[in-house]
Structure 1
Amino acid sequence: MATEDVEVADITTEHTGNHQRRKRRGSTPAVASRPFAGRIGGNAEFTLSPDDASFKSVVSRLPDAAATFSWAASFRLTGFADVELWKEATIEGIGTCLQIYLAGLYAIGLGRAGAATALGPIAPAAFGAVSNFLLIALFVYAGGPVSGGHFNPLITMAAFFARLAVFPRTVLYVVFQCAGAVVAGLLVRVSLGEAPASLRVIPGCYIDAAVVTPGQAYVLETMSSFALIFIAFGVGLDPRQRDVFGPALSPILVGLSVGLCSFATGVARPGYAGASLNPARCLGLMSAAENFEYHYIHWFGDITAAMLNGILYWAIPIYKT
């Protein structure tokens, strides 16, 4: 072997040895990921154990760092003073903005293609379902380690009613999600350079009041949102699933559930362009269109679904009592 090759081999060996010694000494920086019971894909892997030395001090500031907590602890307002919680809410706002910007672009494009094929709304609904599946899964993967990867008031409110997220986190997340959604909607309008009236028919947010009654829209929104939460909680937030497939597959399964629900509701009823499944998305895109007809149903239906899911988890609790 040449002298140069021996020197390179020695340097490589020395570098590898130094790296292994640093790992043994614990010099690798600790990962900055705070425990949170409502983290999608976490399956309670990232909650704080009562045996942890810092358990009492952490839970006193933010009770949802633990697997279980009381309603009284949930409504403790000290969480609003937690700077890290505001940072996590900011990530929720930015992530929601980026997600809805992309979702708005392909929703508008697909909505205009509804009459382009003999299949009518089926083709754009199918493309939209696949797009939603990929979009949601990737964003959950991206935001999950920091904020829990909600990017949707429906998920955040459902986590609150199931006692997986405390009241301060719920309020901050929903406010930042809605703010990010409105910014995204306005950016979509600016990007396309179109008048608000041309953005009214958006899949998932448009309901023809002349064809669909408020009662029909409410039932469609409530039941599809409840189905989404039922699946999302079962595959993404139930700690019993960690023994089945672990946390890594959960975002993909949550994305699939969103795609399935959006497709089912997008082809079923004339005059109904699909369930919202995310009231912040419709808030942002309807702000861009300057049209809020039936928008209250996107909230009432989702809140009802979140409460039904909370009752279900109260009747059949995750943990033994």
Structure 2
Amino acid sequence: MATLTNRSIAEAVGTALLVYFGAGAAAITLMIANGTKPATPFNIGIGQLGGLGDWFAIGLTFGIVIAVVIYALGRVSGAHINPAVTIALWATKRFPAGDAVAYIIAQLIGAAVGSLLFFLTVGMDAVTIGGLGATAPFPGIGYGQAILVEAIATFVLMLAIMGTAVDKKAPAGFAGLVIGLSVTAMITSTGNIAGASLNPARTFGPYLMDFLLGGSNLWGFFPIYIIGPVAGALLAAFFYDRITAE
């Protein structure tokens, strides 16, 4: 097994890639809709911000990056790249507490670095127009509704993780594909409700960089993206153990 240092580095890098490309795709979508970037008939949503095409493109970007990280770094760290996943594996006694703390710290650092790198790549419009792809409930969606949808979507994601990556009886080689596709589906179907974070680190990175770089202060929404994903992941992990018990 790789050292905890190397595993933590893998988690940080994996989460940075997730935020750079996934949250970055959300920011670019906003910038296209605003007319910041050249538009063509092939642009996602064709100028209709929030259209299903927009969310599918964003979700597919997340899904592909997650699959890449799982296949490239999964053998090093397990490719949690999500504090909710790490907490669920710890709670079901599959992961040591000390390692879990190190992983979560690494994931949060990686998320912040990924968001910063996206800003350095794109410039200030990424903050002022794209919000660095930060998640927030959409108009008309209450706090409780946002927590609920995040919990439900993360429940599905964690079920996919349990069934394809954690369960020792799972067929080999499918985890990255199935987990990536589950994220794509959840973002496409729930993105226009609360942003479809499913991951506290994915929200933390853009929130921190938006705040530090003079963008929006969205910290009041952050509990949504802790409570919802963690609750959903815990429920899925315990549910899976219950129904597969022999």
TM-score, length of structure 2 as denominator length? 0.83
Q: 1:119: how far off?
A: 8.3
- What is the CA–CA distance in structure 2 between the aligned matches of 1:100 and 1:306, rounded to whole Å? 20
> Where do residues 205-244 of structure 1 align in structure 2 (5 Å cutoff)?
205-208=135-138, 210-241=139-170
Give the distance between the partners of 2:75 and 2:5, measured in 1 at CA: 15
1:306 pairs with 2:225? no
Given that 2:31 and 2:129 are in contact with CA atoms closer than 8 Å, whether structure 1 keeps it comes out as no
Letter of the 2:144 counterpart: G
> Unpaired runs of 5+ in structure 1?
1-33, 36-83
Which is bigger in relative contact order (C-alpha 8 A, separation at least 6)? 2
The one-letter amino acid of 1:200's match is G
Deviations 1:121-151 (A, max 9, x none): 2111111122222111111001111111111
Q: 2:185 aligns with which of 260, 279, 282?
A: 260
Determine if contact 1:185/1:286 at 8 Å carries over to the other structure.
no
Unaligned runs of 5+ in 2: 34-44, 212-216
Superposition pairs for residues 69-80 of structure 1, below 5 Å?
A: none
Rounded to whole Å, the distance in 2 between the matches of 1:144 and 1:135 is: 13
Q: Distance in 1 between matches of 2:233 and 2:221?
A: 19
Cα separation, partners in 2 of 1:89 and 1:199, compared to 1, 3 Å: same
The aligned runs of 1:137-156 (5 Å cut-off) are 137-156=67-86
Aligned to 1:135: 65
Residue of 3, 6, 9 corresponding to 1:90: 9
8 Å CA contact retained: 1:224, 1:275: yes
Which structure shows the bigger proportion of residues in helix conformation?
2
**Alpha-carbon distance in 1 for matches of 2:49, 2:106:** 38
**What is the alpha-carbon distance in structure 1 between the residues aligned to residue 243 and residue 53 of structure 2?**
39
1:248 matched to which residue of 2? 173
- RMSD across aligned positions (CA): 2.3
Counterpart for residue 129 of structure 2: 198
CA distance in 2, matches of 1:211, 1:118: 19
| Displacement of 1:254 | 0.8
Residue 113 of structure 1: how far off its partner (Å): 4.2
Partner of 1:16: none
Alignment of 1:263-278 (within 5 A): 263-267=188-192, 269=193, 272=194, 274-278=195-199
Alignment of 1:287 with 2:211, yes or no, is no
Give the number of aligned pairs.
228
Alignment of 1:105-120 (within 5 A): 105-113=24-32, 116-117=46-47, 120=50
Q: Is the 8 A contact 1:117 1:123 kept in 2?
A: no
> Is the contact between residue 160 and residue 167 of structure 1 (CA under 8 Å) also seen in structure 2?
yes
Partner of 1:104 in structure 2?
23
Deviations 1:190-219 (A, max 9, x none): 22220644343736x1224x5221011111
Letter of the aligned partner of 1:133 in structure 2? G
| Cα distance in structure 1, aligned partners of 2:236 and 2:108 | 22
User: Which of structures 1 and 2 has the bigger CA Rg?
Assistant: 1
- Indicate the SS of the match to 1:239: coil
* Partner-residue secondary structure (3-state), 1:169: helix
Partner of 2:93: 163
Task: Name the CA distance, whole Å, in 2 between partners of 1:311 and 1:148.
Answer: 19
- Per-residue CA deviation, residues 253-308 of structure 1 (Å, 9 max, x unaligned), is 111111111111024x4xx3x31011101100121222223111100111211221
The residue type equivalent to 2:113 in the other structure is: V
Residues 24 and 133, structure 2, Cα contact 8 Å, conserved in 1: no
Deviation per CA, 1:139-192, whole angstroms, max 9, x where unpaired?
A: 100111111111121221222222221211111101110011112212222222
Give the whole-Å Cα distance in 2 for the aligned partners of 1:197 and 1:117: 18
* Normalised TM-score (structure 1): 0.65
Aligned-partner Cα distance in 1 for 2:184–2:85: 15
